[in-house]
Structure 1
Amino acid sequence: MQLYSVERKVSQPIEGHTAAFTQFKINENKKPSTLFSFAVRGPQGGKLHIIEVGMPTQQNQPFQKKAIDIQFPAELSNDFPIIMQTSAKYGIIYLVPKCGYIHIFDIESGTLIYMNRISIDTIFVAAPYESTSGIICVNRKGQVLSVSIDEDNIVSY
């Protein structure tokens, strides 16, 4: 991947399989920050990176970079992240590896909130599902899968 800064007119190569941009407001900040998240699987394992791009808005505290390990089941040693979408409403990242698992991460802390297999077949495309602030995916067999947060079962912490 290559990240290009319009402000500075420079590009930066980034090792990654999938990425997403999002506007995210940290609790103590007055304005949202532009965040770039990307995921990669290398010989040492998988990583999710969340960084702020561009200059922080005046009066905002900069976002603290995150580098989070991504857990892959041992029997899926060739699995790697292929899809990433974000939900600004819930402040989460949806990450889908090739072998059909869903990983849901909290943007601000980088904490893995949920992980489960949603398809035994390869998922090859996904898009934001605006009506639920979730994602909608299609697997190799043509099944359409929807993943979203159930607001009635959110536990405050």
Structure 2
Amino acid sequence: MNSLNKTFLPSSKYETRNWFIIDCKNQKLGRLSTLIVALLKGKIKPHYYPSTDIGDYIILLNADAIIVNKNSKHYIVNNPGRVGSALTIKNAVDSLPKFTIERAIKGMLSTTETKRLMRRLNIYSGETHPHEAQNPIKLDLNNLSFDNKKVI
């Protein structure tokens, strides 16, 4: 049998999930969300395969300090089209930064992956989080690059 014709499929021994801490302070929403999606899917791992789930857990700190494009307006409309009720419109960027981050990440995921992968994303507006027991790895976003595989 020729060994060149075999496809590598990662088994359960490759399913070691890491916990990462990312500080959102002075980070742009779009660039940060592409990194988060790659970590959630496990695309930075050398044994990545699309049909297997080998993604990691992510803790986002200081979600209030994320940089969002102020020229584009994001609104949340409650009770649209309901007869007899007043419409309430909120500016999503100013009032709900957690919702804005989740919406950006959900837009980059497929519908089949969204529910499963969003469970691994934890967003906090302050510096504290309850996940110290998992020994999370702090990522320095200034030194990351996907081109040279220098992520971890």
State the TM-score, normalizing by the size of structure 1.
0.23
Larger radius of gyration: 2
Higher helix share: 2
Q: Which has the higher contact order (CA 8 A, sep 6+)?
A: 2
| TM-score, L = length of structure 2 | 0.23
**Higher strand residue share:** 1
